[in-house]
A = this chain, B = another copy of it.
Amino acid sequence: MRVDVNFTGQFWKGFIDKVVNYVIPYQWEAINDRIPGAEPSYSMHNFFVAAGKKEGKHGGFVYQDNDISKWIEAVAYSLSIKPDAELEALADDAIDTIVAAQEPDGYLNSYFILTGLEKRFTNLMENHELYCLGHFLEAAVAYYRTTGKKKLLNALIKYVDLVDATFGMEEGKLRGYPGHQEIEIALIKLYEVTNDEKHIKLAKYFIDERGKQPLYFKEEHEKHGNHYNWGNSSFGYGYYQAHKPVRQQEEPIGHAVRALYMYSAMADVAAKTSDSGLMDVCLRLWHIITRRQMYITGGVGTSWYGESFSLDYHLPNDTAYAETCASIALMFFAARMFKYNGYKAEYMDVLERALYNGVLSGMSVDGTSFFYVNPLEVLPEAVEKDPLKAHVKATRQKWFGCACCPPNIARVITSLDEYAYTTDGNRVYVNLFAESVVKTPKLEFNITTHYPWGNTITVDVQTAKPEAELAIRIPGWCENYTLSRTHTRVNGYVIIQDIAPGEKIVLELEMPVKIMEANPNVRVNIGKVAVCRGPLVYCLEEVDNGKNLHLVHLQNDAVFELFQDEELDMVCITTQGKRVCNISNELYMPVTDMVYEDVALTFVPYYLWANRTPGEMITWVQLSNH
Contacts and interface: CB of A to CB of B under 8 A. Distances in A.
Interface of A: 233-235, 290-292, 294, 296, 303-306, 310-311, 314, 319, 381-382, 384-388, 514-523, 526-527, 529-530, 548, 550-551, 556, 580, 583-592, 594, 622-623, 625
A107 B374 CA distance: 55
A452 to B, nearest CB: 17
Given A311-B385, A387-B234, A580-B520, A591 B622 contact: no
Given A234-B387, A526-B550, A583 B521 contact: yes
19 contacts: A233-B387, A234-B384, A291-B587, A292-B587, A296-B587, A304-B388, A306-B387, A310-B382, A516-B588, A516-B591, A517-B589, A517-B590, A518-B587, A519-B584, A519-B586, A520-B551, A521-B551, A556-B591, A591-B623
B517 A588 contact: yes
Given A526-B527, A526-B550, A527-B526, A310 B587 contact: no
A310 B306 CA distance: 24
Instruction: Identify which of A291, A306, A387 gathers the most chain B CB atoms within 10 Å of its CB.
Output: A387
Contacts of A385: 234-235, 310-311, 314
A120 to B, nearest CB: 32
The listed residue with most B CB atoms (<10 A of its CB), out of A234, A522, A529, is A234
A39 B303 CA distance: 31
Contacts of A585: 291
Nearest to A516: B588
Contacts of A520: 550-551, 580, 583, 594
Given A526-B622, A550-B521, A587 B290 contact: yes
Contacts of A514: 590
Nearest to A532: B588
A79 B101 CA distance: 80
Contacts of A294: 587
A142 B306 CA distance: 49
A387 B305 contact: yes
Contacts of A529: 591
Contacts of A523: 550
A546 to B, nearest CB: 14
A556 B580 CA distance: 19
Contacts of A515: 590-591
Contacts of A235: 385
